[in-house]
Amino acid sequence: MKQVRRVFTWSQEDRRKDRIPSELVLLMVCRNMAEVSSGGGEQKGAEDSVDAMPWPVTSSAEGGKKVPASSGSKAAGSDPSYRYKMAYPSIGTCLIINNEKFHESTNMDLRKGTDLDADEVFKTFKKLGYNTVMFKNQKVEEMRRLLKQYSGQDHSENASFVCVLLSHGKEGVIYGTDGCEKIDTLVQCFKGHSCLSLVGKPKLFFIQACRGTTTDEGVETDSVAGQTSEKIPVEADFLYAYSTAPGYLAWRNVNTGSWFIQSLCKMLESYSGELELMQILTRVNNHVARHYESSSSKREHSGKKQIPCIVSMLTKEFHFSG
């Protein structure tokens, strides 16, 4: 396959005016990377699907185990005071909710390929040392109960908490098998006084679901120690890693799993021992943007791109390796 190199370019006038191309404008820390390859990436010929309500679709014209006992700084240039403490008996719990089948009243399709994501996530976070648990095909009320149950546990000996939600969705909401719920409502039980044993610790939510019905057409470019009491915001120390930007579809391949989750697991496997979480997630963004392009029997669904969106309220660097 012929390799095509692409890079973003802008003029001297743009530099003087401190302008950047519109393709590089950020939403939160969501990097809107443009299309950089044309071979369909890693789909292996299977058809791609989306985690949203059935079409019509609008188009974007613009296209367990213990961790090391030290939380000191091993990475070059990293100040220990800006790293989350990892000197706990356990790195924490990873809760996975994997919804594949939906009640007909929701008008939601079967999420073929989601079990591949769930299995990969389970293995990846297990290797990282998390006490990993998985639940499948949960109704809305069951999802509420699960999150409430795990937020109510004693996390005082845990360094962090991870939740992975695999389901259909739209902007601001995610689906149980019988309906939908606002994401903010689901995670509320982990905030502030509702979950004191996780205050000041990273709470990471990875969400594979659509956030709208817009497709990304892509853009052709030219080339390729001692603790003291303190008050902190209730929204602090949360990170939400969404599979796609607000308003857009998220793609999932029936034979290989979703673009975002498979890329996330691949980057965690490769870099969790050396890079900080936000650096890893930047590589996830890069991998999804560069290596994937939708392939479908329906012409209007082919040749589409995707960019994950990371919304971080973390206050320190998070290193899985401590």
- Residues written for the chain: 322
Nearest Cα to Cα of residue 176 among 258, 117, 111, 124: 111
pLDDT tens for 98-110 read 999 999 999 999 9
**pLDDT at residue number 301:** 79
Active-site option among 30, 163, 195, 210: 210
Q: What is the pLDDT of residues 41-72, one digit of tens each?
A: 444 556 787 787 654 445 554 444 433 433 43
Interval 299-314: pLDDT, tens: 877 899 999 999 999 9
Average pLDDT over residues 213-228: 66
Average pLDDT over residues 109-126: 98
Evaluate if residue 73 carries a pLDDT over 50.
Answer: no
The stretch 256-278 carries a mean pLDDT of 98
Task: Spell out a b/e string for 7-29, using b for 16 or more CB atoms within 10 Å of the CB, else e.
Answer: ebeeeeeeeeeeeeeebeeeeee
- Alpha carbon distance, N-terminus to C-terminus of the chain: 41
- The mean pLDDT value of the chain amounts to 82
Is 319 annotated in the active site?
Answer: no
% of the chain residues with pLDDT over 70? 74
Q: What is the structure's pLDDT at 58?
A: 52
DSSP single-letter state for residue 116: H
Instruction: Look at residue 315 and tell me whether its pLDDT is greater than 50.
Output: yes
Q: Which of 85-99, 141-155, 229-243 has the lowest mean pLDDT?
A: 229-243
Mean pLDDT is lowest, of 225-229, 233-237, 285-289, for 225-229
Q: Considering the candidates 155, 168, 291, 319, report the single residue annotated as catalytic.
A: 168
- 21 — pLDDT class (breaks 50, 70, 90): very low
How far is C-alpha 183 from the chain's CA centre?
14
Distance CA 168, CA 235 (A): 25
**CA angle at 268 for the pair 48 and 286, rounded to the nearest 5°:** 55
Tell me the C-alpha distance between 272 and 278, whole Å.
11
How far is it, in rounded angstroms, from Cα 183 to Cα 191? 13
Strands annotated E in 16-157: 26-27, 30-31, 48-50, 58-60, 90-98, 131-136
CA distances from 222 to 3, 19, 245 (A): 14, 18, 24
Verify whether residue 210 is a known catalytic residue: yes
